[in-house]
Structure 1
Amino acid sequence: MTTPRTGGEAMIEVFRQQGLRTVFCLAGAAHAPLLRDLEGTDFHIVPSRHENSTVAGADGFARVTGLPGVAMIAGHQGLPNALGGIRTAQLACSPVVLLASVNEGSSESMSEETNDGLDMVKPFVKWARTVTDVNRLEEYLNAAFHQATSGRPGVAVLGIPTHIEGEALKAGAAVRSRKLKPIPPQPAAEAIEALAEAIGNAKRPLVLAGAGAALSGAGAALRTLSQEFGLPVFGHALGRGLVAEDMDHGYPWALTQVAAKRADLVIAVGIRLQQRIGYGMAPRFSEAAVFAQIDIDAGEIGRTRTVEIPIQGDACLGVEMLLEALRGRGQAAFTREWVGEALAERLARVDELGRDTDGPIHPYAIARTLMEQLPPEAIFVADGADVYNWMSAVMRMRSERCYLDHYPLGSMGIGTPLAVGAAAGARQLAEDTGEALRPVVLVTGDGSFGFYPGEFNAAVVDGLPLTCIISNDGNWGTERNALLTRLGTTVNCVLGQCDYHLVAQGFGADGVKVEAVADLAPAIASALASGRATVVNVITDPDAGEVRKKDPRLQMVTFEDLRSSLDAHHVMDLR
C-alpha cells in the first residue's frame, strides 16, 4: 500500500477498513481537507442542516447497516448543537464516531470555554480524545472505531485540529490495517445450564429481545429458539423484527406488554429493563416471575429487580448455547395460546377503531395502509408522541434492522435525520450486496416534523428516496388531549393546519396533501414508487387522541418513572 500524502487520505483508508463508503457532514471549513480528499472517490457525503442531524444521520446509518456511522462537525460552535444527537445515539447503543474540529490556539486563561473543547461531551459519550500529531491520526481514529464498536457500542468523539487533515505524513508512515475485531465474551456454561433447567420447569416462558440482541447478530438463533421450542419473543427497539412479528412467534413489545405479566419465566436478551419495559417490575411482570438476563454489560444485569439467573456475555453466543442445552435435555416445545388470550381484548379494541371511510382520517388508517403496501424488508422509522403511540398498535416489523425510533431519550423530531441516515445506509447496503434497495418510511407528527424539516433538502441533494408521512392533527396532540382530559383547555397546544407538503416542495422534495381516506392509499403508493424524497401530509382527526387518553387498551406507551410506577401501578390494573 502506498504512503498516504495527507492525514485525510489516511483517514479514508481507515474508513474503508471499517467497510464504510458513507459519511455525514455539516458543510464548512472544519473538515475541508478531508472533504477534498473524499471528493471524487466512491464515498457518499451526506449533508445536513444542523449538527444534531449530522450525528443522528450517522446513528440511523449504523442501526440499519450494522457498521459504525461517521459524523463530521465543527467542534467549537457545533458540539452544543450536536448534544441531542450524541445522547440519542449513546442511549440507543449505536456505534458512532464523531469527528469534531478543534482549534489548538484557542486556549486562553479568561476564555468562556475550557482548555479542552471536548469537555462538554465527555459525560455523555463512551470515549473522547484529541489527536495533535498527524502521524498518530490513524492510531487515534482506529481507537475511536474500536471504542465505538466494542462491548456495549456507543459514541466515540475524536477531536482533530483543523490543519491536521491536510498535513503530509512522514515518509514511510503508511496506513496499516488496524481494524480490531471485538471478541465477544462467552457466557458461562453453568449459567446457560441453569437457564435451560428453568425453562424446563416453566409453563409460560417469555423472551424479551432488545438492541443488544440485534447488535450481536442473535436474530437467527432467536428465530430457531422460537420455532423449535415455542418460546414467544417480544421485540423492542432494534430488537424488533429479529423474529418476524407474526403474532405467533414474534410480537411487538409495546402492543403485547399486557401479556408479559402472565409469564412465569422472563428471559431478557440484550435489553435494558428501563422505563419502556416497566423496569422489569410489577405490574407489567409478575412479582413471582423468575428473571434471566443475558447482557454483554454486567452492570445492566439486575439494575432494577432481582435477576435469579444472571448471564454476562454476548447475546448471540448465549442464545446459541441455550439452543444446544435445550436440545441436549430433549426440551419439548411450548404452546403460546396464553399470549393470544391475554391480547384478545386489546386487539379487538384496536381493530374496531379507525374504520370510518367518510369522516376524518384516523392515524390507524395510515398504519393499516402501510402494512398493506410495505414489503417485509422495509425500514420503518417512528417519531412523535400521539402518532408514535398509534403506530405501535398496528405496525409489525418483519425483518432484521428494520425499526428505528427516538427512544430511549425520546427527543422528538430526531426521527427525520434518523430516516435520512437509514436511507443512506440502505443505499450502501444495496450497492455492496447487489440486493434491492430497501424502502425507508418515516411516520411522524406535525409537531415533531417541525424540528428538522430542512433535512429533506439533504435527502434531495444526496438523491435519497425517503417517504415521510405526517399525521397532521394541527396540534401538539398528546399535550392537547391530556390538557383537555384533565383541565378542559388546549392552551399553548394548537399549531394549526400547516402546509407541510409545501415546506417539502420548498426544499426540493415532493409533497402531497391528503384530506380524505379514499386518497390515502394512492398517495402512499405513489410516494413509495417515486424513488424521491416525498412528504405525504395527512390531515388526521384532532379528537382521535382523547379516547386513547381514557382507554388503557389503546395506550401502547406509558410515561412514568420508577417511583410513580411503584406508587400507582401496583394498585391499578394495567389493561
Structure 2
Amino acid sequence: MASASDLKGGEIIAQSLHKHGVAAVFSLAGTAHTYLLQALAPLGIDVVSTRHETATVLAADGYARTSGRTGVALIKNDQGLPNAMTGICTANAACSPVVVLSSLSPASSIESGGDHYELDIVKPVAKWVRIVPSPDRMAEYLAMAFHQASSGRQGVAVLGIPQEFQGFTLAAVDIPVHPVARPPAIAAQDATALVDLALKAKRPMIVVGGGALASGAGPILQHLAKTYDIPVVGNSHGRGLVPEDNRHGFSWPLAQVAARHADLVIAVGIRMTQRMGYGLPPRFSKTATFVQIDIQPEAIGRNRPVDVPIVADATSALEALSSGLTAQSFKGFGGTKWVNDAMAARLQRIAELGRDPQAEIHPYQIGRTLQDLLPPDAVVVGDGADILNWLHGVYFVKHPRCYMDHYPFGSMGVGTGLAVGAAVALREEARTSGKPARPLVLLTGDGAFGFYCAELHSLAHADLPITILIANDGAWGTEHHGQLRALGTSFNCLLGKSDYQYIGEAFGFATRKISAGGEVHDTVKWALGTGGRTLVNILTDTEAGKVRKSDPRVQTIAFEDLASSLKVLSTPDVA
C-alpha cells in the first residue's frame, strides 16, 4: 500500500524542476508526459505548448538566451526526437543551457524485427546524453542533466526517461541540486603575459562572444573600453556587452573591416569560425598577436595559432588585465579613431541606400525604423539571410541578451521558435519586476518565416505579446541574386509575395500589409504600440539584394575568407 509520502514518478520530476528554479517548460502535447504535466501546475510551473519539436527546443533555447537561465523542453522520443534535431543542433552550437527530457516508449513496444533506437541519433550533436536506468534514480539523473547543461561550456543535455517511470508510485526522495562549479581563474603567469602584450600594443582589439556573456563580463568590458579606449567588438551573443555606440562598443558585422588593422587581438569566449574569418588573413593581419581566452582548452587555437592561450573565466582574465594596466599607471591607447576610419566608407555607403520614401521598400528602412522606435532594452530576434545582412548594417545593440539570430548553426526559420522562448522569459521578468514587459520583435525574411509559421499559434495560445515583421521580397533572396550574378538568371528561387498577414489573422494577430516606403515608420510604430501580437507583411524591393553581391561595403556577413578562396572568388578584403 502506498504511504502518504509516496509520489508518482511525474511528481518527482516536477519537484526536481521546481527545485532547479524552473518557472516554465516548453512541450509538444501528448501522452508522453501525462503525469509530469499534471504535476507541474500545482508547483506554479507554466507549460507553453508548441507545434513542432524543433520549435519546442528552440523555445527553451530562446528562453535561455534571454533570461540566462536553463531552458527545459519536453518531447517524445520515437518520432519526436528526429523532429527536434534542428533545435538541438541550434541550441548546442549556441552554447545555450537547455535540458531536453525525452520520453521513451515502454520496453514492451519494441519490435523484435523492427527498427528501434533510443537516443543514438542525438549523441553527436548534444553536449550530454543519458537514459535514466531505474525509476528511483530520476532525481539523480535530472540533477546531473542540469549540471551538465549549465557548467563549463554550456550546451544541451538530453535525458531519456522511460515513459512508464512517470506513472510508477515511488517513495519520496531527496531532490539533489549540484552547485555550478566556478570556472578557473586566470593563472598569474598568463595575467602577466596578457598585460605585457597590452602595454606594447598600439591598436588592440577585444573581440567577444557568448563565453563573455555567460561569464557576465559586461561591466569589466565596459570599464576597459572607456578607461583605456580599447575597442570591444561583439559578435552574436557578445553584442551589447559594451553598448554599440561606434566609439567604445562595435558590432562585428560592421567593424570587421577594422580587424586587419589591429596589432593585438584579444579573443574572449568566442570561436574563430567562418563568420570570424577563421582568425586568418585577410580578415586579420598576418602579423597580429593573438590572445585567446576560453574556459574550454579544446576551443583555443581553432583554425589559427594563438600566441598566448589562456584557459580561464572571461571576467577573471579581463579583471586581471585591468588591474595590471592600473598598476602600470597606464593612461590608454589614444582612442578608437582607427576603427571608425576603417568603417567610414562602409557607413557612408550604407547611409546612402534606402532613403527614397516613394520607392519600393528597402530593407534598410525596416532596420532604421526599429533603431528609431525601440527602447535600448528591447529584444530583437533576427532570422533569414538577406534581411539579416541588412539589419546588421543599421541596428545597434545597447544591452546584453537583447539580440539573437540563427548563428552559429545557421538554420533559417529558427527565429520564430526562439522568439516564443524570449517572450516567456520577458513575461517572467515583468512578473518579477512589476513593470511592463520589454518589447520583443521578430524580424524575419519571407523564406525563413515559412519554416515554423505554425508557432504563431504557440504565441497566441500562451497569450505572449510580440511584433513580427516579415521582410517579404518574394524570393530566396541570397540565392536569387547569387544565381543572377553567376548565370544571368535564377532557378527555383522566386517564391512570390504571398499574403502572409493572413497566417497572422488565422492565429488572432492584428495584421497589416504594406508596400510603399512612406508606410514603414507609421506602420511599425502602430505594431509596437498595440502591446499585443502584431504581424506586418512588408513587401520589399526584390532587386535590393543585388547590390550586396557587388558592393563589399554593404556585406556584413562575408562567406569567402580564406586566402585560397579569394583567388577564385575575388572577394575584396574590405568585405
Structure 1-normalised TM-score? 0.96
Distance 1:507 1:563, change over 3 A: farther
Identity among equivalent pairs (%) = 48
- CA distance in 2 between partners of 1:4 and 1:88 (Å): 39
Which position in structure 2 is the counterpart of 1:157? 158
- Rounded Cα–Cα distance in structure 2 between residues aligned with 1:571 and 1:541: 25
Q: Give 2:506's aligned residue.
A: 506
Equivalence map 1:298-447=2 (5 Å)? 298-334=297-333, 335-447=335-447
Matched, 1:44 2:43: no
Structure 1 residue aligned with 2:453? 453
Asked if 2 retains the 8 angstrom alpha-carbon contact of 1:18 and 1:179, the reply is no
In structure 2, relative to structure 1, the CA distance for the partners of 1:134 and 1:571 (3 Å cut) is closer
- Alpha-carbon displacement from aligned partner over 1:181-216 (angstroms, at most 9, x marks no partner): 222111212111111110100000000010110011
Larger CA deviation: 223-232 vs 205-214: 223-232
Q: Relative to structure 2, which stretch is displaced further, 338-347 or 509-518?
A: 509-518
Counterparts of 2:394 and 2:564 in 1: how far apart (Å)?
28
> Do the aligned residues in 1 keep the contact of 2:209 with 2:234 (CA within 8 Å)?
yes
Q: Distance in 2 between matches of 1:571 and 1:16?
A: 53
Which letter maps to 1:343?
Answer: M
Q: 1:488 to 1:565 in 2, by over 3 A?
A: closer
**Equivalent pair of 2:280/2:562 in contact (CA under 8 Å):** no
Answer yes or no: is the 8 Å Cα contact 2:139–2:176 preserved in 1. no
1:105 maps to 2:108:
yes
Query: Within 1, Cα distance between the matches of 2:5 and 2:194?
Result: 53
Is the deviation greater in 530-539 or in 470-479? 530-539
Cα-to-partner distance string for 1:118-146 (whole Å, 9 max, x where unaligned): 00101111111111322211100000000
Partner of 2:136: 135
Is the 1:13–1:175 contact (alpha carbons within 8 Å) kept by the matching residues of 2?
Answer: no
Identify if the C-alpha distance between structure 1 residues 564 and 142 changes in structure 2 by more than 3 Å, giving closer, same or farther: farther
What TM-score do you get using the length of structure 2 for normalisation?
0.96
Report what 1:188 is aligned to: 187
Cα displacement (A) at 1:491: 1.7
Q: Secondary structure at the match of 2:25?
A: strand
Deviation of 1:6 after TM superposition, in Å, equals 2.2
Which secondary structure state, in structure 2, belongs to the residue aligned with residue 360 of structure 1? coil
Paired position in structure 1 for 2:258: 259
Distance 1:59 1:563, change over 3 A: farther
Deviations 1:326-384 (A, max 9, x none): 11121221211101110100000000000001010000000010000100101111110
Q: Would you say the 8 A contact 2:140–2:176 is kept in 1? A: no
- In structure 2, what is the equivalent of residue 88 of structure 1? 90
Partner of 2:67: 65
User: Over aligned residues, Cα RMSD in angstroms?
Assistant: 1.6
Q: Which amino acid aligns with 1:508?
A: G
Query: How many Å separate the matches in 1 of 2:264 and 2:69?
Result: 34
Letter in 1 for 2:360: P
3-state SS of 1:100 partner:
strand
**Amino acid paired to 1:333:** G
Aligned to 1:220: 219
CA contact (8 A) 2:300 2:306 kept: yes
Question: How many angstroms does 1:506 deviate by?
Answer: 0.8
Within the alignment, does 1:76 sit opposite 2:78 as a pair? yes
* Residues 373 and 285 of structure 1: CA distance in aligned 2, closer, same or farther (over 3 Å): same
Secondary structure at the aligned position of 1:451 is classed as coil
Contact 1:283–1:569 (8 Å) recurs in 2? no
**Equivalent pair of 1:17/1:179 in contact (CA under 8 Å):** no
| Residue 205 (str. 1) matches residue 208 (str. 2) | no
1:460 Cα deviation (Å)?
Answer: 0.3
Question: 1:3, 1:175 within 8 Å by CA — same for their partners in 2?
Answer: no
Q: Which amino acid aligns with 2:368?
A: R
Deviates most, 18-27 or 528-537: 528-537
Change (3 A) 1:17 1:326: farther
- 2:520: which partner in 1? 520
2:467 aligned partner: 467
CA contact (8 A) 2:186 2:313 kept: yes
Q: For residues 433 and 568 of structure 2, what CA distance do their matches in structure 1 show?
A: 51
Q: Is the 8 A contact 1:87 1:124 kept in 2?
A: yes
Aligned counterparts of 2:178 and 2:571: Cα–Cα separation in 1? 53
Q: CA deviation at 1:440?
A: 1.1
- Cα pair distance change 1:385/1:570, threshold 3 Å: closer
Deviation at 1:562, TM superposition (A): 5.1
Q: 1:4-19 maps to which residues of 2 (within 5 A)? A: 5-19=7-21
| Offset from partner CA, 1:427-471 (integer Å, 9 cap, x none) | 112223334412111111001000010001100000111111111
**Pair 164,564 (structure 1): closer, same or farther in 2 beyond 3 Å:** farther
SS at match of 1:30: helix
Instruction: Give distance in 2, aligned partners of 1:438 and 1:403.
Output: 13
Contact preservation (8 Å) 2:28, 2:51:
yes
For structure 1, which segment, 182-191 or 218-227, has the greater mean C-alpha deviation from structure 2 after superposition? 182-191
Matching residue's letter, 2:17: F
Note the alpha carbon deviations across 1:458-495, whole angstroms, 9 max, x for none.
Answer: 00000111111111011111111111111111221111
Shift of 1:174: 3.1
CA deviation map 1:499-558 (0-9, x unaligned): 111111112222211112222122212221222222111010000000111001111112
**In the alignment, is the contact (CA less than 8 A) between 1:456 and 1:533 conserved in 2?**
no
Deviations 1:259-305 (A, max 9, x none): 11000000000000001000000001001000001001111111211
SS at structure 1 position matched to 2:207: strand
- Alpha-carbon distance between aligned partners in 2 of 1:12 and 1:322, rounded to the nearest angstrom: 44
Match of 1:121 in 2: 122
How far 1:178 sits from its partner (Å)? 1.8
Instruction: Pick closer, same or farther for the CA change 1:15–1:571 going to 2, 3 Å.
Output: closer
Counterparts of 1:354 and 1:502, CA distance in 2? 27
Distance 1:428 1:176, change over 3 A: same
C-alpha distance in structure 1 between counterparts of 2:116 and 2:217, whole Å:
44
C-alpha change, 1:8 and 1:339, in structure 2 (3 Å) is: same
Rounded to whole Å, the distance in 2 between the matches of 1:54 and 1:516 is 36
| Kept after mapping to 2: 8 A contact 1:444/1:471 | yes
Q: C-alpha distance in 1, partners of 2:554/2:477?
A: 15
Q: Secondary structure at the match of 1:99?
A: strand
Q: Unpaired runs of 5+ in structure 2?
A: none
Give the partner amino acid of 2:40: L
In 2, the alpha carbon distance for the partners of 1:470 and 1:571 equals 30
Q: Distance in 2 between matches of 1:291 and 1:187?
A: 17
Q: Is the 8 A contact 1:30 1:162 kept in 2?
A: yes
* In structure 1, distance between residues paired with 2:425 and 2:370: 21
Q: Which whole-Å CA distance do the structure 2 matches of 1:122 and 1:228 have between them?
A: 45
* SS of match in other structure, 1:543: helix
Residue identity in the other structure for 2:367: A
Letter in 1 for 2:473: D
Cα distance change, pair 159–540 in 1 and its aligned pair in 2 (3 A):
same
Mean alpha-carbon deviation: is it higher for 43-52 or for 13-22? Answer: 13-22
Amino acid at match of 2:113: M
Alpha-carbon distance in 2 for matches of 1:426, 1:395: 21
Instruction: Find the counterpart in structure 1 of residue 25 from structure 2.
Output: 23
Secondary structure of residue in 2 paired with 1:120: helix
Partners in 2 of 1:45 and 1:563 — Cα distance? 50
| Alignment check: 8 A CA contact 2:18 2:43 kept | no
Please tell me whether the aligned partners of residues 282 and 561 of structure 2 are also in contact (alpha carbons under 8 angstroms): no
Note the alpha carbon deviations across 1:412-437, whole angstroms, 9 max, x for none. 00111111111111111222333441
Q: CA deviation at 1:565?
A: 4.3
Matched residue type, 1:229:
Y
Local SS of the residue matching 1:124: coil
Distance apart, 1:177 and its partner CA: 4.2
Counterparts in 2 of 1:284 and 1:404: CA distance versus 1, 3 Å = same
